[in-house]
């Protein structure tokens, strides 16, 4: 091997690294490693002057490899790859050593942390010496999109894409569009009609020449990769041999929404046993029919609304479902306008009124004479039948936090504000489109703050309440953001996909076919004629399973070769 000229850059990250690791000592130690031409320690490598330092050294010192010891490669690898590219160095000749997230932030200051950083830098230097320049592949971007779920998010994404002139396949499992929003009467905080909103969207979607609405249909299989997916769609309604179609799409937006928490899982409210304990969605149904009444047809005199059913509890879901507080206030308004003489009490844990216009709405609700009672998180208001002679049907016992008193509240109708939870088959959907779920079952976005609609699978986006509980405006915003991401890709026409994939050296392959079954993407094909296996690089997602399996060492994982990983092993242990 000709002598390498490696540049090593040890980032201090202000004091984030330098307070724990002796960065100057790490840079000095790296100086004597084989092939290292330049080794520097600098305050902020990711800053403009930091990147400029690398660019200049590549040009003036003739560096052929760059090692940056800094934060996680998941954070700034793209940054330093771009810097190398600017200086005319292939971006795959850059290697990072993670001395922040996996060193300075998790260890105490001192020699051991510094020693560990030196080990990690040595491994990166050894590895970088084995790096090879790689070229990214350019692939076509199919401008068609698959949107899964015909709720408010799905329809919004579909319209945004279709209005821009692109074909959209909108797949909805049920027989109608609208999703959960279609089950709602008015919406908080402006009390505008959900129906009007939905009807307008549905009409536009159905009539749109660029949108193919597929009702009672599901995604059965998704093959391919960003820009070039093949989606198998199946119609569920029609008996024995359901009709299938395979469509080519470049992107997928998952908008599968949520389902409401099953109130029967909470026993102390008597849901399912007491006739007039109902869920928020059952109450919406009543509102849509225009008549608030008890099971026996009488009008309720006392209406109690209970918050956080299934939400913010250790027993069920720890998270807040976000829309129930404002929906509860909306109910107070609707009850008061339908039954001005009724007493409405609102039994809550904390009042979450964080959205635009929500705080005003909360204030206005107090003005319509709603009685607010606060119960403690983890406490359980208990419902029982009222005694004969009481002028109400039920009694709700609340350990009221503000007064400190145990209050028995009369109630004829109790509305349980049930929270949101992931749909039962969210796991199957995640599996189909290869995305992950968090501990509660919601789909995980690429980055919680900086990349909230993309996922870890390139070309697959998430929008709406399938990602976490969300109100209508947030769902719509996310849907249109996903559409915008896709439109950006469509407008570029071609996509560059990562240069990491596996390749078979046909001179070494024996045709044993051990690897054929290993690939989860069927990217390995066996050529009967040549009796050799080969990798269809566009389908390969670079996991490396076949590489580890190949007993002939005939498959190479580009950028994760045996030689590179061996060098890293030797490096950390030297």
Partner 1 sequence: MSFEPKIVSFLCNWCSYSGADLAGTSRVHYKPNVRVIRVMCSARVDPTFVVKALAEGADGVLVCGCHPGDCHYSEGNYKTMRRMPLLKRMLADFGIEEERVRLEWVSASEGTRFADIVDDMTERLRALGPSRVKTALAYDAVER
Partner 2 sequence: MAGEKLQIALYWGAACGGCDVAVLDTNEFILDVHAAADIRLWPIAVDGKYADVEAMEDGELDLALYNGAVRNSENEHIAKLLRRKSKVLVAFGSCAHLGGIPGLANLASRDEIMNVAYLHNPSIEKGNTTLPRPESGVNGSTLTIPEFYKRVYELDDVVPVDYYVPGCPPAADRIKEVLQAVVSGGLPVPGSVVGANETALCDECPRTKNEKKVKAFHRPWQVMIDPETCLLEQGVLCAGVATRGGCGARCPSSGIPCRGCYGPLPGVVDQGAKLLSAVVSVIDSNDAEEIDRILDGLPDFTGFAYRFSAPSSLLQRSVRQ
> Footprint of partner 1 on this chain (CB under 8 A)?
72-74, 98, 100-103, 105-108, 112-113, 115-116, 119-120, 123, 427, 431, 434, 436-439, 444, 456-457, 500, 518, 520, 541-545, 547-549, 557, 560, 562, 565-566, 568-570, 572-573
> Among partner 1, partner 2, none, what binds residue 511 when CB lies within 5 to 8 Å by partner kind?
partner 2
Q: Which residue has the tokens 């070309």?
A: 459
- The yes or no reply on residue 509 touching partner 2 (CB under 8 A) is yes
Q: β-strand 168-171 against 186-187: which pairing, if any?
A: unpaired
The SS3 call for residue 168 is strand
Of residues 259, 7, 255, 212, the one with CA closest to residue 125: 7
> Among partner 2, partner 1, none, what binds residue 105 when CB lies within 5 to 8 Å by partner kind?
partner 1
Name the residue nearer to partner 1 (CB basis): 264 or 569: 569
Cα–Cα distance measured from residue 192 to residue 223, given in angstroms and rounded to the nearest whole number: 42
CB of 428 to partner 1, least distance (A): 11
Cβ(465)–Cβ(420) below 8 Å: yes
Residue 468 to residues 20, 149, 152, 313, Cα–Cα distance (Å): 37, 15, 15, 16
CB of 261 to partner 1, least distance (A): 22
Cα–Cα distance measured from residue 13 to residue 97, given in angstroms and rounded to the nearest whole number: 13
- Selected range binding partner 2 among 354-362, 427-435, 461-469, 511-519, rule: CB under 8 A: 511-519
Name the residue nearer to partner 1 (CB basis): 300 or 544: 544
CB of 507 to partner 2, least distance (A): 7
Name the residue nearer to partner 2 (CB basis): 102 or 434: 434
DSSP single-letter state for residue 101: I
Name the residue nearer to partner 2 (CB basis): 247 or 565: 565
Cβ(215)–Cβ(172) below 8 Å: yes
- The yes or no reply on residue 574 touching partner 2 (CB under 8 A) is no
> Among partner 2, partner 1, none, what binds residue 73 when CB lies within 5 to 8 Å by partner kind?
partner 1
- The yes or no reply on residue 550 touching partner 2 (CB under 8 A) is yes
Cα–Cα distance measured from residue 346 to residue 373, given in angstroms and rounded to the nearest whole number: 6
Q: β-strand 394-399 against 228-235: which pairing, if any?
A: unpaired
- Selected range binding partner 2 among 164-172, 295-303, 467-475, 543-551, rule: CB under 8 A: 543-551
- Selected range binding partner 2 among 137-145, 259-267, 285-293, 506-514, rule: CB under 8 A: 506-514
- The yes or no reply on residue 569 touching partner 2 (CB under 8 A) is no
End-to-end Cα separation, the chain, in angstroms: 20
State the greatest distance between any 2 C-alpha atoms of the chain, in Å, as a whole number: 98
- Name which position in 48, 507, 529, 573 contacts partner 2 (CB under 8 A): 507
CB of 187 to partner 1, least distance (A): 32
Name the residue nearer to partner 1 (CB basis): 256 or 457: 457
What is the DSSP annotation of 28-75?
Answer: HHHHTSTTEEEEEEES-TTSHHHHHHHHHHHHHH--SEEEEEES-HHH
Name the residue nearer to partner 2 (CB basis): 178 or 544: 544
Q: β-strand 145-148 against 251-254: which pairing, if any?
A: parallel
Cβ(558)–Cβ(542) below 8 Å: yes
- Selected range binding partner 2 among 156-164, 170-178, 289-297, 545-553, rule: CB under 8 A: 545-553
Q: Specify which residues 42 forms β-bridges with.
A: 11
User: Taking CB under 8 A as the criterion, which residues in 19-78 touch partner 2?
Assistant: none
> Among partner 1, partner 2, none, what binds residue 552 when CB lies within 5 to 8 Å by partner kind?
partner 2
In SS3 terms, 323-372 reads as CHHHHHHHHHHHHHHHCCCCEEEEEECCCCCCCCCHHHHHHHHHHCCEEE
Using alpha carbons only, how large is the chain's radius of gyration in Å?
30
> Among partner 2, partner 1, none, what binds residue 513 when CB lies within 5 to 8 Å by partner kind?
partner 2
> Among partner 1, partner 2, none, what binds residue 570 when CB lies within 5 to 8 Å by partner kind?
partner 1
> Among partner 1, partner 2, none, what binds residue 437 when CB lies within 5 to 8 Å by partner kind?
partner 1
Cα–Cα distance measured from residue 262 to residue 66, given in angstroms and rounded to the nearest whole number: 56
CB of 288 to partner 2, least distance (A): 47
| Dihedral sign computed on CA atoms, order 544, 550, 555, 560 | positive
- The yes or no reply on residue 444 touching partner 2 (CB under 8 A) is no
Q: Specify which residues 348 forms β-bridges with.
A: 374
> Among partner 1, partner 2, none, what binds residue 536 when CB lies within 5 to 8 Å by partner kind?
none
Cβ(141)–Cβ(493) below 8 Å: yes
Cα–Cα distance measured from residue 250 to residue 227, given in angstroms and rounded to the nearest whole number: 4
User: Taking CB under 8 A as the criterion, which residues in 512-531 touch partner 2?
Assistant: 512-518, 531
- Name which position in 238, 289, 549, 570 contacts partner 2 (CB under 8 A): 549
Size of the site for partner 2 (CB under 8 A): 22
CB of 546 to partner 2, least distance (A): 9
Cβ(170)–Cβ(214) below 8 Å: yes
CB of 254 to partner 1, least distance (A): 16
| Contacts with partner 2, residue ranges (CB under 8 A) | 507-518, 531, 548-554, 562, 566
């Amino acid at each position: 091997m000709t002598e390498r000229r490696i540049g090593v850059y040890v980032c201090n990250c202000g004091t984030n690294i330098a307070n724990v690791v002796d960065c100057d000592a790490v840079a000095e130690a790296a100086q004597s490693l084989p092939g290292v031409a330049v080794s520097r320690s600098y305050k902020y490598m990711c800053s403009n002057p930091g990147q400029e330092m690398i660019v200049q050294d590549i040009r003036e010192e003739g560096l052929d490899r760059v090692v940056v010891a800094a934060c996680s490669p998941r954070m700034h690898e793209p940054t330093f790859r771009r810097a190398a590219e600017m200086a005319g160095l292939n971006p795959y000749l850059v290697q990072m050593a993670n001395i922040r997230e996996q060193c300075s932030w998790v260890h105490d200051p001192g020699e051991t942390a510094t020693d560990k950083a030196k080990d990690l830098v040595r491994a990166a230097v050894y590895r970088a010496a084995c790096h090879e320049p790689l070229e990214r592949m350019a692939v076509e971007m199919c401008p068609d999109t698959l949107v899964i779920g015909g709720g408010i998010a799905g329809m919004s994404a579909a319209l945004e894409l279709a209005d821009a002139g692109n074909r959209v396949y909108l797949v909805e499992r049920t027989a109608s569009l609208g999703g959960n929003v279609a089950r709602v009467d008015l919406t908080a905080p402006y009390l505008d009609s959900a129906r009007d909103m939905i009807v307008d969207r549905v009409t536009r979607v159905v009539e749109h020449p660029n949108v193919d609405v597929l009702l009672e249909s599901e995604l059965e299989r998704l093959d391919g990769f960003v820009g070039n997916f093949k989606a198998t769609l199946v119609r569920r309604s029609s008996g024995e041999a359901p009709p299938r179609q395979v469509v080519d799409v470049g992107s997928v937006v998952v908008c599968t929404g949520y389902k409401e928490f099953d109130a029967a899982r909470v026993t102390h409210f008597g849901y399912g046993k007491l006739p007039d304990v109902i869920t928020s969605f059952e109450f919406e149904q009543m509102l849509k029919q225009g008549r608030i009444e008890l099971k026996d047809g009488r009008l309720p005199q006392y209406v109690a609304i209970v918050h956080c059913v299934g939400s913010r509890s250790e027993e069920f879901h720890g998270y807040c479902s976000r829309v129930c507080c404002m929906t509860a206030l909306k109910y107070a308004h609707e009850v008061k306008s339908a039954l001005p003489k009724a007493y409405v009490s609102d039994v809550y844990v904390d009042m979450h009124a964080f959205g635009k216009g929500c705080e005003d709405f909360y204030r206005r609700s107090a003005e319509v004479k709603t009685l607010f009672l606060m119960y403690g998180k983890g406490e359980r208001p208990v419902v029982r039948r009222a005694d004969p002679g009481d002028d109400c049907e039920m009694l709700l016992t609340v350990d009221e936090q503000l007064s400190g008193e145990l209050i028995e509240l009369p109630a004829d109708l109790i509305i349980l504000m049930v929270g949101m939870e992931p749909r039962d088959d969210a796991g199957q959907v995640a599996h189909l489109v290869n995305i992950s779920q968090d501990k509660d079952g919601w789909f995980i976005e690429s980055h919680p703050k900086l990349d909230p609609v993309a996922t870890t699978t390139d070309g697959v986006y998430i929008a709406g309440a399938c990602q976490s509980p969300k109100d209508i405006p947030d769902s719509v915003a996310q849907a249109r953001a996903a559409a915008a991401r896709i439109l950006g890709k469509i407008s570029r026409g071609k996509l560059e996909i990562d240069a990491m994939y596996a390749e078979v050296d046909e001179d070494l392959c024996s045709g044993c076919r051990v690897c054929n079954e290993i690939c989860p993407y069927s990217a390995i094909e066996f050529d009967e004629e040549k009796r050799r296996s080969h990798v269809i690089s566009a389908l390969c997602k670079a996991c490396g399973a076949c590489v580890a399996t190949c007993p002939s060492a005939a498959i190479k994982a580009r950028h994760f070769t045996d030689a590179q990983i061996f060098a890293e092993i030797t490096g950390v242990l030297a």
